[in-house]
Structure 1
Amino acid sequence: MKYNLLGNTGLLVSEICFGTMTFGSSGQWAAIGGVEQKGANDLMKTVVDAGINFVDTANVYSFGQSETLLGQSIKDLGLSRNDLVIATKVRGKMGEGKNNIGLSRFHIFASVEESLKRLQLDHIDVLYVHGVDPFTPVEEIMRSLNDIVLSGKVRYVSVCNWPAWMVMKANGLADKHGWNKFVGMQYFYSLSGRDIEREILPLAKEENLAVMPWSPLAGGFLSGKYTRESEKAGNSRRDSFDFPPINKERAYDIVDVLNEIGQNYQVKA
């Protein structure tokens, strides 16, 4: 396994990050995964045996079940905490209360506490802000993230699905005040979704920010099991949860080219 530094930090993470969005089966997430504890344990063992040390989850995945299953897997398998880099996220709605959503100081601190309980950990290695909160000032978000890092409950902060200008504004404010800055960014990126090449990737290169792509196979569409003749692969999560959205005609063209390349190397999809 190859390991890279996480942006401009000294933290080494595996080039492949294991995502646990399929852990749990609550709400809309039931259409995506349904992995329960035994399956989670089996997957985590395979991951660790392959040398992967970077594991990604989120509080909203199956409304906390993903974090709970991941935390229990770490315990069941007796994995060393110091051998893992655990990332989770904050912003999504986690309850009926008026403040159980967003990136306010109130919700960030409450969310981290709840995530730590579910994960059965005393700290989170990487905390992502999971999308834009149009109501909370960026200054409040960055000050709160800095304070949660200083509390020892989070090691690094990163951002997910923000526009480039907002990332730059946030890190500019953090730099001005001496706060912890975003060290990485997570976005949808695949052969069928290359929008981040316009502004996000140039920003990452200029500011030495790590880039963590999500859904590199476009929700399985680029696996080769989807064709123009049969848009539904059968028993696939995209059949019932068509996400992420892509230009399917363009994606079919991409799959055609990938199949040609595979044939040249005698590799099937």
Structure 2
Amino acid sequence: MEIRNLGASGLKISAISYGNWLTHGSQVEEDAALACVRQALDEGITTFDTADVYANTAAETVLGKALSGERRAGLEIFTKVFWPTGPGAHNDHGLSRKHIMESIDGSLQRLGTDYVDLYQAHRYDHETPLEETMEAFADVVRAGKALYIGVSEWRAEEIRAAHALARELRVPLVSSQPQYNMLWRVIESEVVPTCEELGIGQIVWSPIAQGVLTGKYAVGQAPPAGSRATDEKGGDAMIARWLKDDVLTRVQRLKPIADEAGLTMAQLAVAWTLQNPNVSSAIVGASRPEQVTDNVKAAGVKLEASAMAAIDEALDGVIERDAGKTQSPRRSEIFG
């Protein structure tokens, strides 16, 4: 397993990290989830990412159980706060001091640990002063409940403002967690240059575009049984935007490129994200242990410039690059 620094910080993490969004506590039964985490550990993954909102807190509980008994200092455990949890009352979401302070304690209890290595703002909160949010995060760090802080799906100007406050408060804002893959490149024009300047690293999610970049979905064919597209608990809604004929046709053109590189299409997709020097780690999920084994083989792969160019040519016309696509919801968009 390749090990990389998280941004310009001294924290070292595995280039492939394991995430349990849409799986643990929801799509995947607990025994299978535990087996996937065990396989991740066996493959050298040390970095594990979750969030309190995943399966309405159940994912944190499953991950905590799966990592129980492991040497804590040998793991990097990340979680997040923002989205509604519990009954979803008016203070059960957002980045207010109240919600952050209550949420970190709940996450630590479920994860079975005294601290998380990285505590992330899962979205930007338009209804709470940024100063209040950053001061609360600073207090979480000073209390020893988190070692570093980060953000997820924040725009470049939001990241810059938060970083300035973090410097004033003397707390380490070290990461950004955006969606990033061959098809979704909205961070490249603004977020990545800003983060490179500020020493912030990307921990990217959905490197295989919900499974579309594996090539298992084809035009005119029903989705494979048990795939993300057949998951009625949320997975099917997330993947729907990629299941378009033009996208699926273009994705199939990646197969000879992967073959030439000696990789599966999934490995090619994960390796592609890791070619970006601002990417510290790519988050992979799994419903079966063998998927973990397949994905970790992307670590340390160096794609030739010709392969990178061929990928761009194959996907030309279906790549999303609009920086404006990075945005966080407002209260009315969450609750209607």
Q: Normalising by structure 2, report the TM-score.
A: 0.73
Task: Quote how far apart the aligned CAs of 1:52 are.
Answer: 0.8
Q: Once the 2 structures are TM-superposed, how far is the Cα of residue 112 of structure 1 from its aligned partner?
A: 0.3
**Is structure 2 residue 251 aligned with structure 1 residue 260?**
no
Contact kept? 1:57, 1:88, Cα under 8 Å: yes
Give the equivalent residue in structure 1 for 2:57: 64
> Aligned with 1:144: secondary structure?
helix
Question: Per the alignment, do residues 41 and 234 of structure 1 end up closer, same or farther by CA in structure 2, a change over 3 Å counting?
Answer: closer
Q: Distance in 2 between matches of 1:118 and 1:266?
A: 41
Q: Does 1:242 align with 2:237?
A: yes
Q: 1:100 to 1:265 in 2, by over 3 A?
A: closer
**Matched residues in 2 for 1:130 and 1:265: separation?**
35
Deviation by residue 1:130-155 (Cα, 9 ceiling, x = unmatched): 01211001111111111110010111
Query: 1:9 maps to what in 2?
Result: 9
Matched with 1:178 is 169
For 1:181 and 1:105, the matched residues in 2 are separated by 18
Matched, 1:100 2:72: no
Counterpart-to-counterpart distance in 1, 2:41 and 2:246: 36
Q: Deviations over 1:178-205 (max 9, x none)?
A: 3314200001101111111111111122
Matched, 1:35 2:29: yes
2:156 counterpart residue number: 164
How far apart in 2 are the matches of 1:60 and 1:187? 17
Unaligned runs of 5+ in 2: 266-336
Map 1:203-218; keep pairs closer than 5 Å.
203-218=194-209
CA RMSD, Structure 1 to Structure 2 (Å): 1.8
1:146 aligns with 2:138: yes
Q: State whether residues 135 and 169 of structure 2, in contact with CA within 8 Å, keep that contact through their aligned partners in structure 1.
A: no
* Separation in 2, partners of 1:218, 1:119: 27
The structure, 1 or 2, with the larger RCO (C-alpha pairs under 8 Å, 6+ apart) is 2
Letter in 1 for 2:20: T
Kindly indicate whether the alpha-carbon contact (under 8 Å) linking 1:226 and 1:232 is maintained by their aligned counterparts in 2.
yes
Partner of 1:73: 66
Distance 2:220 2:70 in 1: 45
Alignment of 1:185-224 (within 5 A): 185-224=176-215
Q: Identify the residue that residue 76 of structure 2 maps to in structure 1.
A: 85
User: Which residue in the other structure is 1:24 paired with?
Assistant: 25
Identity between Structure 1 and Structure 2 (%): 34
Report the Cα distance in structure 1 between the residues aligned to 2:184 and 2:13, rounded to whole angstroms.
Answer: 24
Going from structure 1 to structure 2, the CA distance change for 1:34 and 1:4 (only over 3 Å counts) comes to: same
CA distance in 2, matches of 1:11, 1:213: 17
Instruction: Find the residue that maps to 1:133 and give its secondary structure.
Output: coil
The CA distance in 2 between the partners of 1:157 and 1:223, in whole Å, is 32
- Deviations 1:36-65 (Å, cap 9, x if unpaired)? 1x2222112211111111000110111111
Q: Which amino acid aligns with 1:42?
A: A
Give, in whole Å, the separation in 2 of the partners of 1:232 and 1:111.
Answer: 37
1:231 shift after superposition: 5.7
Structure 1 residues 150, 266: CA separation in 2 closer, same or farther (over 3 Å shift)?
Answer: closer
Distance across 2 between alignment mates of 1:268 and 1:142? 42
Asked whether the equivalents of residues 108 and 116 of structure 2 are also in contact (C-alpha less than 8 Å), the reply is yes
Distance 2:166 2:219 in 1: 48
* Aligned-partner Cα distance in 1 for 2:210–2:137: 31
Provide the rounded CA distance (Å) in 2 between the counterparts of 1:81 and 1:117: 15
Count of aligned positions: 258
Give the CA deviation at 1:157: 0.4
Verify the 8 A CA contact 2:218 2:249 in the aligned structure 1.
Answer: no
Letter aligned with residue 145 of structure 1: F
Shift of 1:266: 6.8
Conserved 8 A contact 2:60-2:111: yes
For 1:188, what is the secondary structure of its paired residue?
Answer: coil
Do the aligned residues in 2 keep the contact of 1:193 with 1:246 (CA within 8 Å)? no
Q: Indicate how the Cα distance of structure 1 residues 6 and 238 shifts in structure 2: closer, same or farther if over 3 A, else same.
A: same
Counterpart amino acid of residue 62 in structure 1: A
Aligned-partner Cα distance in 2 for 1:164–1:250: 30
CA distance in 2, matches of 1:109, 1:125: 16
The whole-number CA distance in structure 2 between the counterparts of 1:43 and 1:59 is 20
Q: Tell me if the contact between 1:143 and 1:179 (Cα under 8 Å) persists in the aligned partners.
A: no
